[in-house]
Structure 1
Amino acid sequence: MSVTSIELQLESENLVYFSGQRVKGALVLQIGLPVIIAGVEVRFRGAARAKWRETVQNGTHRTDIEHEKEEIYFDDRFCLWGKVNHTNRWEGREVLQRGRHMFPFQYKVPECVPCSFEGPDAHIRYSVQGIIIRYNGECISSQRIINVLREYDPRREPRDSAANSSPHRLEDHAERSVSTLCCRPGRVSCTLSLPKRACVPGEILRAEILVHNMSIRKSGAVSLQLKQIITYGGVQTKILLLKEYKVCDGLRPGQHRQWKEYPLRVPPLCPSRLHMCKVLDVRYCISVEATFADIILYSAVPIIIATIPDNYLEFSKWSYKVSTPSLMMDDTLTDCYIYGCTRTESEEDEFKPKYKYFENIRDLRRDRDLIVKFRYSPSLKRRNKEKEKKQELARPTVKLKSEDITSSSLA
């Protein structure tokens, strides 16, 4: 075989780039025998693709319509070796001699492109492809999918600037009346509240949960959930369950329970608001699911996943971590591909985007509040009183003589 190997080498080890950053690398060819080709080129491509199904009811007839939409952000080709005329066609023939050949390149990722994303029947992918253009036979190519990120700070966005500025907690309440056999109707309810809306991966959100079971039957489990809401083409919505924590197994009839500051650590996730993307939209929410005899109650509060933490948060370091997969997957869903990519399907399916994750996040306001509470705690007050009594007892006392006492009394 003339071409024994073709490899794309990129300078970045983790293949993570930010919008506006340069992708530097080289296309390395190993030639066993001299080969005649038209040239060598490199291709940079970024696109979003979504596929969804819609059911239309017309009287007694039901029709399933399958939609597929693609949005291309850039698709640039550059000649690394050979000649290209003004109509972008290859002209002439080139001979690659035996040995190892290296063709360096660099490319600046356009500004304001959405970050990489992988979901059911939808994705945003960016690829680098090196191609050997041949006259006879198929072209030989090698491709690598890169991870593109974009910083997102809700405080700088007009519609999200007030995400964490409200002094009040974010709350949602669900209540329902349940029927009984011979007694008056009972009521069941659940309430969820969060201290703020915007958070970063690695941060711990402390939720407050309140559940009332004013019925005659024992309730089922109560769970705290983190969900991802994907919108396809602005018309179809799909909800994925990312994390689920069982709060309790159930409540007895007439019982109500409250959990203050129930912790939920945010996993590595794609940031909210896929900027400049008209094909997909990603949102998140935290919900409480309370199961009762006849109904299931939901309370949900939307949250925003950002990449820049608040000023009062302190962290030790941050790194890139693979996105958390969903707990509920539908086997009938099939992933789609970017047109023109020659990478095998198995290698494309193995691609998992990475996002920023902050380690050991501390809330300085919470630490300050704890110090204030400890300063005025009852045990500390008791110790201060005991210390004052000891100081009073330890003070030196002066005893007056009997003559001084009589003289002072006469005076």
Structure 2
Amino acid sequence: MAVTAIDLNLESDELVFYSGQRIKGALVVQISLPIIIAGIEVRFRGAARAKWNETVQNGPHRTDIEHEKEEIYFDDRFCLWGRVNSQNRWDTRETLQRGRHAFPFQYRVPGAIPCSFEGPDAHVRYTVQGIIVRYDGEHITCRKVLTVLRDFDPRKENPDKLAIPPELPLEDHAERAISSVCCRPGRVSCSLAIMKRAFVPGEILRADIHVQNSSIRKSSIVSLQLKQMLIYGGVHSRTLLLCNEKVCESLRPGQHRLWSNFPLRLPSTCPSKLYMCKVLDVKYCIAIEATFPDTVLYAAVPVTIATVPETSCCPFKWIYKLSERPIISEDENVDSFIHGCSKNIDMEFRPMYKYYEDLKDYRKDRETVLRLRQSPGVKRRREKAKCLPAAKATVVKLLPDESVHYNSFA
């Protein structure tokens, strides 16, 4: 072949861009022999697509209906070399000489588009494609899949919804009676509570978990889970398990246990909101699943996955990290899931999202310094607090004009 290599070189090695950002790069072609072509073009495309099945029961007859919905955000083509007439047809025959050729280009990503997403039989995908247009034979192409991100700060959109008073945690409770042949029924229960609703990938979520086994039979595994709920076309829903952390192996008959601030680090995943997308909707929940004989207790609370941490948290370090693959259930297999996520040449593609490797909470760090046994000024502040009968706080906070110096520790 005359064309020995064709590639798209972009300025961003990670292929991560934000809506409204400019993409700069070049289409690089290596030619071993002169070749006659119509021209060279580059194509930028962004679209959302979802496919799902619906079963309709009409008496004894059952019909399976396949639905497919697509939404195109942009599909732009630009001529890099050659000439196109007013009917968008190539009207030139150009000779591309032997050697290495680079055709630079730049493109501004539209602003009002959702971020990238890959799921089973659904995606929001953005691509850039370089094309050598030939008169005879198939066109020679190369393509790269891009990750397009958009920051999501739910506090700016729903500040009242995210504000949870300390005395009113976000919680859920499940309870059920387990019957026995020779004894009276026993009751089993589980409850889950978290103190805030919005989190960012990489942040450690802390949950209060209470499980009680008042039956005469031993329970099985208790686990804390992060689940992703996908809504296709506003009518069909599917739930994926993203994270599954084992809380305990089992509970004996009559035993009840309480875990306070049980940690769960959130994986790299898509934000909760896909802006301007009518094909897909993404939601999340934190769930506690307790397995008992003949029943499974399930309690869940909704959470919001954002990209901007709280103002009281300082991002120590963040990176772009590949999205986590969902945990495959027993009725699925990895090959079918990957095939549903990304078909053809994009089978292994996963978007990259902003991931916070370490978050420092200024409030907690400040209280920790004051709790040190030989921290300077603690004794004086405690004596001062005793003189104030209305002061019931267990943690003493610094005044605006005071500070703690580490070099003065004993």
Q: TM-score, normalised by structure 2?
A: 0.86
Q: Which residue is 1:163 aligned to?
A: 162
For the Cα contact (< 8 Å) 1:3–1:29, is it kept in 2?
yes
Q: Secondary structure at the match of 1:50?
A: strand
Please list, as runs of the form range in 1=range in 2, the aligned pairs for 1:198-347 lying within 5 A after superposition. Answer: 198-328=198-328, 330-331=332-333, 332-333=336-337, 335=339, 345=344, 347=345
Instruction: Report the Cα offset of residue 374 of structure 1.
Output: 5.4
User: What is the count of residue pairs matched by the alignment?
Assistant: 374
1:259 is aligned with what amino acid? W
Instruction: Report the Cα offset of residue 290 of structure 1.
Output: 0.7
Aligned CA distance change for structure 1 residues 337 and 70 (closer, same or farther; 3 Å): farther
Aligned CA distance change for structure 1 residues 333 and 59 (closer, same or farther; 3 Å): farther
The reply to whether residue 65 of structure 1 matches residue 69 of structure 2 is no
For the Cα contact (< 8 Å) 1:48–1:124, is it kept in 2?
yes
Q: Secondary structure at the match of 1:315?
A: strand
Instruction: Report the Cα offset of residue 139 of structure 1.
Output: 0.7
Q: What's the % identity of the aligned pairs?
A: 61
For the Cα contact (< 8 Å) 1:163–1:197, is it kept in 2?
yes
Q: Which residue is 1:29 aligned to?
A: 29
Deviations 1:38-70 (A, max 9, x none): 111100000111111111111111111111111
The reply to whether residue 149 of structure 1 matches residue 153 of structure 2 is no
Deviations 1:374-401 (A, max 9, x none): 5799xx98xx99xxxxxxxxxxxxxxxx
CA distance in 2, matches of 1:190, 1:12: 48
Aligned CA distance change for structure 1 residues 372 and 174 (closer, same or farther; 3 Å): farther
Aligned CA distance change for structure 1 residues 164 and 335 (closer, same or farther; 3 Å): farther
For the Cα contact (< 8 Å) 1:241–1:326, is it kept in 2?
yes
Q: Which residue is 1:365 aligned to?
A: 363
Which one has a bigger Cα radius of gyration? 1
CA distance in 2, matches of 1:337, 1:225: 22
CA distance in 2, matches of 1:172, 1:365: 27
CA distance in 2, matches of 1:90, 1:165: 61
Please list, as runs of the form range in 1=range in 2, the aligned pairs for 1:82-93 lying within 5 A after superposition. Answer: 82-93=82-93
Instruction: Report the Cα offset of residue 29 of structure 1.
Output: 1.2
For the Cα contact (< 8 Å) 1:51–1:336, is it kept in 2?
no
Q: Which residue is 1:17 aligned to?
A: 17
Aligned CA distance change for structure 1 residues 9 and 198 (closer, same or farther; 3 Å): same
RMSD: 2.2
CA distance in 2, matches of 1:277, 1:106: 25
Aligned CA distance change for structure 1 residues 336 and 260 (closer, same or farther; 3 Å): closer
Q: Secondary structure at the match of 2:67?
A: strand
Aligned CA distance change for structure 1 residues 41 and 336 (closer, same or farther; 3 Å): farther
Structure 2's unaligned 5+ residue stretches are 384-410
Q: Secondary structure at the match of 1:216?
A: coil
Aligned CA distance change for structure 1 residues 142 and 307 (closer, same or farther; 3 Å): same
2:64 is aligned with what amino acid? D
CA distance in 2, matches of 1:336, 1:45: 20
Aligned CA distance change for structure 1 residues 29 and 277 (closer, same or farther; 3 Å): same
Instruction: Report the Cα offset of residue 368 of structure 1.
Output: 3.6
CA distance in 1, matches of 2:107, 2:349: 21
Deviations 1:301-334 (A, max 9, x none): 1111100000111221111011111111523457
Q: Which residue is 1:186 aligned to?
A: 186
Q: Which residue is 1:355 aligned to?
A: 353
2:42 is aligned with what amino acid? V
Q: Secondary structure at the match of 2:346?
A: helix
CA distance in 2, matches of 1:348, 1:39: 26
1:287 is aligned with what amino acid? A
Instruction: Report the Cα offset of residue 182 of structure 1.
Output: 4.0
Aligned CA distance change for structure 1 residues 334 and 70 (closer, same or farther; 3 Å): farther
1:257 is aligned with what amino acid? R
Q: TM-score, normalised by structure 1?
A: 0.86
Aligned CA distance change for structure 1 residues 376 and 227 (closer, same or farther; 3 Å): farther
Aligned CA distance change for structure 1 residues 334 and 374 (closer, same or farther; 3 Å): closer
The reply to whether residue 94 of structure 1 matches residue 100 of structure 2 is no
Deviations 1:165-215 (A, max 9, x none): 543210001111222334433211100000111000111111000011111
Q: Secondary structure at the match of 1:217?
A: coil
For the Cα contact (< 8 Å) 1:149–1:355, is it kept in 2?
yes
2:363 is aligned with what amino acid? R
1:184 is aligned with what amino acid? R
Instruction: Report the Cα offset of residue 122 of structure 1.
Output: 1.2
Q: Secondary structure at the match of 2:162?
A: coil
For the Cα contact (< 8 Å) 2:207–2:261, is it kept in 1?
yes
Q: Which residue is 1:110 aligned to?
A: 110
For the Cα contact (< 8 Å) 2:212–2:255, is it kept in 1?
yes
Q: Secondary structure at the match of 1:335?
A: helix
Structure 1's unaligned 5+ residue stretches are 339-343, 386-411
